[in-house]
């Protein structure tokens, strides 16, 4: 196997659930750029059509597909149309930040359906078809720092992302015999439309300087490369892992001491 073929996705079909913006869009672009026939799926079909057309203009293979991750009908329809995917990347997600005791039942249900229940159903459908075809496959979940630790005002979100980490490990154990690798990326503080307003506060920027060795916020592209790697033959022996891409936040600490 050549170095190029190790990281190539040529000849593969990839389904990116939640691809209209942010991390999902960056992953879809990078996946198409690596050679995969990439399906961009989300509720924002008009935006997806534009992005897919732009990728095709660059010579890549890309299509758009509608997906409302909160409805069984939409999930089942997507799986029926694109169940021949070799690669499934689950990015769809949302968040509501508030003290735990203030979450309403509607808040809880909305986050659970978007971040967990729909992804579980889509993974079950597409993964089942991977097993039927018998050609192996890759599943990449996009978790969170909340998959491995806790921060305030993220309780329900953390429940969903912790569950994805657990699902990753169990599916890796179950599906290894089918040559399907299942991994989870835990992004750190990545600047996206979901959190942009939070990081505008000066105190947040100051806090970050002392919280992680790489002092900048991450970008969606910082996650996209890892997703492509986990989708490629280079990661054939990696499964059941929750891998943080977080500027060192979860594994290091910094202080002002200088020897």
**Active-site residue list:** 157
User: Cα separation of 65 and 85, whole Å?
Assistant: 13
Residue that the structure tokens 């229940």 belong to: 117
DSSP per-residue letters across 91-119? ---------GGG--HHHHHHHHIIIIIHH
Instruction: Specify the 3-state DSSP secondary structure of 167.
Output: helix
Instruction: Answer for the pair 233, 6: CB distance below 8 angstroms, yes or no.
Output: yes
Burial class for 248, CB neighbours closer than 10 Å (0-12, 13-18, 19+): middle
The tokens describing 179, both together, are 């040559």
Instruction: Answer for the pair 191, 142: CB distance below 8 angstroms, yes or no.
Output: no
């Amino acid at each position: 196997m050549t170095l190029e073929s190790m990281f190539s996705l040529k000849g593969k079909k990839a389904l990116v659930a939640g691809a209209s913006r942010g991390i999902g869009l960056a992953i879809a672009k990078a996946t198409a750029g690596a050679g995969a026939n990439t399906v961009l799926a989300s509720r924002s079909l008009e935006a997806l059509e534009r992005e897919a057309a732009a990728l095709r203009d660059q010579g890549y293979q890309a299509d758009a597909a509608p997906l409302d991750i909160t409805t069984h009908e939409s999930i089942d329809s997507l799986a029926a149309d694109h169940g021949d995917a070799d690669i499934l990347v689950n990015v769809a997600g949302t968040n509501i930040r508030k003290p735990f005791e203030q979450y309403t039942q509607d808040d809880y249900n909305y986050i659970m359906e978007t971040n967990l229940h729909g992804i579980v159903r889509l993974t079950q459908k597409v993964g089942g078809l991977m097993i039927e075809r018998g050609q192996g496959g890759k599943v990449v979940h996009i978790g969170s720092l909340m998959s491995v630790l806790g921060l305030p005002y993220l309780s329900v979100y953390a429940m969903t992302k912790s569950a994805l980490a657990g699902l990753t490990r169990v599916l890796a154990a179950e599906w290894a015999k089918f040559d399907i690798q299942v991994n989870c990326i835990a992004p750190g503080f990545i600047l996206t439309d979901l959190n942009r307003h939070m990081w505008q506060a000066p105190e947040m920027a100051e806090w970050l300087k002392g919280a992680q060795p790489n002092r900048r916020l991450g970008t969606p592209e910082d996650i996209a490369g890892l997703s492509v790697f986990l989708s490629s033959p280079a990661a054939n022996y990696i499964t059941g892992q929750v891998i943080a891409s977080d500027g060192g936040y979860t594994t290091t600490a910094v202080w002002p001491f200088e020897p």
